[in-house]
Structures are given as C-alpha cells and as structure tokens.
Structure 1
Amino acid sequence: MKAAFHLLHQHFFKLVIASYLLAALLPGPGTWLRDVQLGTVVIFGETTRLSLSLLLLSLLLLNAGLGIAVQDLYQLLRKPQALLAGLAANLLIPLAFAFTVSNTIGRLWHSPDEVQNVLVGLAIIASMPIAASSTAWTQKNNGNLVLSLGLILLSTTLSPILTPVGLNAIGLITTGDYSEDLHLLAQSGSSGFLLISVLLPTMLGVLLHSVLGAKRVSQVRPVLKDVNLLVLLTLNYSNAASVLPSVFKNPDWDLLLIIGIITTLLCLIAFATGWWLSRKLKTSPHDRSALMFGLGMNNNGTGLVLANLALGDHPLVLLPIISYNLVQHIVAGWVDSRLQKPVE
C-alpha cells in the first residue's frame, strides 16, 4: 500500500491527465458518481442538494481544517497582508482579463454571440470563491495550509458581496439578454451551498484538531494527504465525465480552440500573479504555494450550478467554465511538479 501511494505522489500530474482521458473514453462511472443524490437541506431559504460530489469536496476541506490549530488562524489575522492581497487579486485579475478579452478578441472574433457567451462564462469564473481543491494541492506541496484555508474561507464568506460585484461588472460590457441575465444572477444567492460545502466542513476540521490535539493529528497527516489526492482524482474524473463526451459530440472546433486558449491564459496569469505577489510581499515558499494554488483555482463547481439554473437558454456559457475547471487542475499539476523540482 505504501508503495502504491508513493507512486501516486510521484506521478500525480500524469494521473490527472489520465483521469481526463478516461473520462472521455469511459464516462459512465463518472456520471453515475456525479448523479448520486443523498437528499436536500434548506438553509437561508435556499434548497441545496446533498450530492456525493459535494461531500467529497467537503472532505477536502475537513481534512484541511484538521491540520489547522485555532491559534494558527489568529496568527494569520495578525499578519493579513498575504491574505488580503490574495483576496483582492482573486477578484481583480479575472475581471481585468475579461475586459481585455472584450476589447481585443471580442472585436476580432467572427461571431458576436459567441463572444457574449465567452464573456458571461468569464464573469462566472471571476465571481466564484477560491476552490476547495486548492487546499489539497497546497497540502501536497507542503504549502501554508493556514493561508490556503484563510483564502477560501474569506473569499467564501464575502461571496454574497464579491460575487454580485464580479457579475455586475462584466454585465456592463455584455449586451442584451446576456447583460440582463448577469445582473439577475447577481441578485440570486448560493449561500446555502457554500455554507455546507465550505464553511461547515472547515470549522468541523478545526474543531476536531482542537479535540484530538496536534500530536494525534500529525500521526494521521500522511494518510490525509493520500486521501486528498484520491478524492481529487475522483472529482476530476467525475466532473470531466459529465462534460467531455457532450463537448466533443458535435464540436465547434474554432470556438473550443479559442475558449481553450483564453481559459489557459487566464489560469496561467492567475498562478503567475500568486508567484509575483509572493515575491513582492517577500513571503516564504510555503506561502508562495498557498497563493499560487489559491489564485489559480476557482470554485467552478458552484459556477456550473448557477449557470445551469440561471442561463439554461445559453448553453455555450458553460464551455468556458468547464474549460477552466479542467485546465486549472492540469496547470496545478504542472506547477506542483515545478515547485517540488528543486527539492528533488
């Protein structure tokens, strides 16, 4: 078993790519996994479905919270420069990128309607909190898990304010029905979903750390890392299985190509911004990992849910969100391998 997990760590980037290939060739088990429903709960007047995918995401944050002591969170709040800079960059970089796309590619592309779909997709990417899966990548890279969790918690807690800001901002550069949909979406909420999938499991993990003590937690930490990687691979496969076959069934190759280029460029810029902020703030390599994975990875699962509910009449809007969701894990795997290379 130990040898198998060693191979898992050593070849994880290759396994991420393999999970996408498997999803394209054998999507059945992945779509089944994504469709497993475990009931519903009502919070803040919102009905949230409890799916197996949501519980797996929650497990990532429970494991991350288990590695955090309460005093670590206090320490982070005493020196919040990296936390606040990361939060600001997480909102501003995607917004600036969307405005740049609108003023460059948007003016040159042959189909104005496709441009509008891409911009709306970027609006949803820009307005989402930081992804829970970024903690697993940070933990794998021995990064600052406290800063990683802080970025997720703060971006999620402030999402009722920041999400409408992002949606309304890009609503100003879209037109017609697309602009109206963005402004309407800004008025709807996803607080219940975020509370269940992010805040509750994280707080439960921190509470368990206090109950068990640092010594016991340190004994199970290697196991938690292994579990996180298996959960990441499972979620990657499941998410890809639900979209890749339909995307390539009747493909519009030029649209897929430009979306791939746009989302890959945005993801690389986001990761590079995390590295740049780390240099400017003169943080440790552990903080650098947390900033890079935090800024590069957004909670696009929530974005897909919102887009499906509010933008069902514009199915092409889903393509940029889906593309970014796939690209961010590929880029994260590559970044992880590069960050660990000097150590090896």
Structure 2
Amino acid sequence: MGDQDAPHEWIGFGFLHRHFLWLLIGAYAAAAIAPGAGCWLANLTETGHVGGYSVRISAPALMLASLLFAAGFAVRGDHLRGVFRSPLPLAAGLFASVAVPVLVLMAVAPVLLLWHDPVEARDLLVGLAVVAAMSVAGSSAGWSRAADGDCALSLGLVLLFTALSPLTTPRSFGTVGALAPSDAGEVLNHLAGAGGASAFVVLWVVFPTGLGLICRWVIGGNRADAAGPHVKQVTSVILLVLCYANASTCLPRVVVDPDWDFLALIAAAAVVMCATAFSTGFLTAKFVRADPARRAALVFGVGMANNGAGLALAAGALAGCPLALLPVVAVNLTQHLIAGYADARLRKV
C-alpha cells in the first residue's frame, strides 16, 4: 500500500476504533450541551402493525436493529462452527452473564430503600435492571479480538445470549422486580409482562441478528468480509448517534440542575456493576482453567452488556421513569473504561 493510501486507511478504518472512547464521551457532551437534534431523533416514532400486533417503531430502535444486523453479518462460518467446540467455557460464561448482574441487583435493591428520595431510588434501580437484563454486547467481540481472544467463544456468547434473550430478559426483570421496592417492582414487573420487553428483544435484537446471518450466507463469506471494514465504520457512527440521541433526553436536565448526591450514587453504582461483571469474567476463566485466548473472550463477554439495546428499550418503555436512562448512560461509559483497563491487564498476564 502506498503512502498516499495510508491517511485514508487511518481515517476510514482505524480512527473510530482507536478513539471510540473519546468519541463516546464527546457524544455524551454534545447530548448535554446541544440536545436538539438528539431529542428530535429520540422522539421520531411511528406505530405500525406486524402480524396483527401494534408495534412502536422508533429511530433508536431502527438504529439498534442495524447494529445487530451488522453483528450477525460479520459472523464468519468457521467461527460459527467452532462455537460449541468449547462447551464448558461457553456454558460458564453464559451462566455468569445471565445470573451475576441479577444477583448484584437483588442485593442492592433492599439497600436503596434507605435512599432519601424514593423516585431517584426507583429510577436508578430500573435503569440498572435494564442493563442487567440485556444480552452480551457485540462490542465485546471486538475488544476480545484486539486482545487476541478466542473469536468463536466471543461470538458464541453474543449469539447464544441473543437467541435466549426473549426468555432471559423478562425473567431478569421479574426476578429483580419481586425484590425491589414497590414503585420499582411495579415498573419492572410491567416490563416483564405487558410492558413488551420480550417482544422488543425479538423484533429489534433477535430478528435483525438472524437476518444478518442469513444475508451473509446469501452473498457469500468473501464478499461479506470485503465489506466488513466499511460496515464496521458505519456501525460505529450509528452507535455514537444512538448514544447521543438517547442521552439527549436526560443529560440536559442534569447540566441545568445537577443533583450531585444522586449523580455520585449513579457513578458508584455503575462502577460496582461493571467492576463486578469484569471480575466475574476473570473468575469464570479461572474456574474453567481457560487458556489466554479463552480468558480474554470470557472477560469481555461476561463484562460487557448490550447497552445500545438497553438505551433503546429504556427510551421507548420508561417514559414514566425520566431518570432511568442515566444509569444506562453511566454503565455504557464505565464499561468501556474498565474494558480498557482489562485489556491492559490481559496483555500483562
């Protein structure tokens, strides 16, 4: 490759990945300072009908679907065939990803009864429950790949959890809701049942992921791989826009009238949630005696939740809990910070 092509390659394919954390911080800053376009996007909705059912179609949900379509489109056949070659790490990682966040919230829920503002306590718990109920983040595979992780195990965790999420998501909401204070419990039980969490996951998470897998099979792996860098670039931009749009609905009020003790509580809760998840990934790898490649896959797979889905779900279903987006935003930023630390630690092991 000539020198003239190097700047284009750096800007087109490397810049977004290398500077994603700073771009994410910039998106949140833009949401706080200039939320107009983000609020317009977040409120861009239409009601349609699928199979006789009324379906709320929104710009954030469509952006989420495009991200999951791209995730399915990027799955290589050899990685997919290798998913079940390591059943113990896969099963252990899946169990940890499903159970540990819910167990953490079950321990935290009674403690929040002591908080002086019940509305803040409700919205914090509901936001954290949304994070806990989400599937493994597709970005975990990218972090794992950068750390020389096992791609088959990484993708197996993402795909298997995604496939099971219509069952696991409402059950997670119901489990936490059963032990939550009354207001939060009512919201979470509603999400688990008539609130549409299961339908949301099927329509906007499972279906586009499967469609991406099918499209890759139709056009062929070589063509899909050739398009991969361009698709990755576009999806990185879409993810930043999704974060900006959803954060625009909650961050401006924080800037105008900051509640410092509540913000400190949110930050502490996000750190505890993310640190526990990543620590569980390390412990799971130790439990199954994983080699370095599988250890990296488990650390990022267990440690990172699909907060793009969480933001889209919260924006559409939690209008009555206006502060519930704040914990999702905080966890989204915190998990990328801790992922950077985990990446550095894995390279030293």
TM-score range, shorter chain: 0.7 to 0.9
Cα distance change, pair 179–75 in 1 and its aligned pair in 2 (3 A):
same
- The secondary structure found in structure 1 opposite 2:305 is coil
Q: Provide the rounded CA distance (Å) in 2 between the counterparts of 1:125 and 1:267.
A: 10
- Matched with 2:268 is 261
**1:278–1:291 contact (8 Å) kept in structure 2:** yes
Q: Report the counterpart of residue 179 of structure 1 in structure 2.
A: 185
Partner of 1:49 in structure 2? 57
- Alignment TM-score, normalising by the size of structure 2: 0.80
> 1:262: Cα distance to partner?
0.7
Other-structure match for 2:284: 277
Corresponding residue for 2:20? Answer: 12
1:46 is displaced (CA, Å) by 4.8
* CA spacing shift, 1:65–1:106, aligned 2, 3 Å: closer
Q: 1:195 to 1:218 in 2, by over 3 A?
A: same
Q: What is the identity percentage for the equivalent residue pairs of Structure 1 and Structure 2?
A: 39
Distance 2:260 2:183 in 1: 25
**Residues 76-123 of structure 1: CA deviation (Å, up to 9, x unaligned):** 1343222222221122211221233245x5365444554344333333
Aligned residues, how many? Answer: 340
Post-superposition CA distance 1:155-206 (Å, at most 9, x none): 2333333233322322232233333333333212334432333223322332
| 2:264 counterpart of 1:296 | no
Contact 1:140 1:225 in 2 (8 A): no
Give the superposition deviation at 1:134.
3.8
Shift in Å, 1:270: 0.9
1:86-235, aligned counterparts within 5 Å? 86-102=93-109, 105-106=111-112, 109-111=115-117, 114-138=120-144, 143-188=149-194, 189-235=196-242
User: Which sits farther off after the overlay, 54-63 or 130-139?
Assistant: 130-139
Given candidates 66, 70, 77, the residue that maps to 2:84 is 77
Query: Measured at CA, do residues 252 and 224 of structure 1 come closer, stay the same or move farther in structure 2, by a change above 3 Å?
Result: same
Contact 2:243-2:308 within 8 A present in 1 as well: no
Residues in 1 aligned to 2:138 and 2:76: alpha-carbon distance in whole angstroms: 18
1:260 is aligned with what amino acid? Answer: A
* Cα distance change of structure 1 residues 171 and 35 upon mapping to structure 2, 3 Å threshold: closer
C-alpha displacement at 1:257, in angstroms?
0.7
Kept in 2: contact 1:141–1:340 (CA 8 A):
yes
The answer to whether the 8 A contact 2:166-2:201 is kept is no
Q: Could you give the per-residue CA deviations for residues 204-252 of structure 1, whole angstroms, max 9, x where no partner exists?
A: 3323333343433443333344334333333333333332112332222
1:115/1:284 CA distance change after superposition, 3 Å: same
RMSD: 3.4
- Residue 30 of structure 2 aligns to which amino acid in structure 1? L
How far did 1:49 drift?
0.4
Q: Is the 8 A contact 1:64 1:135 kept in 2?
A: no
Q: Give the unaligned 5+ runs of structure 2.
A: 1-7
User: How much does 1:295 deviate?
Assistant: 2.5
Alignment partners' CA distance in 1, 2:18 and 2:320 = 44
Shift of 1:36: 4.1
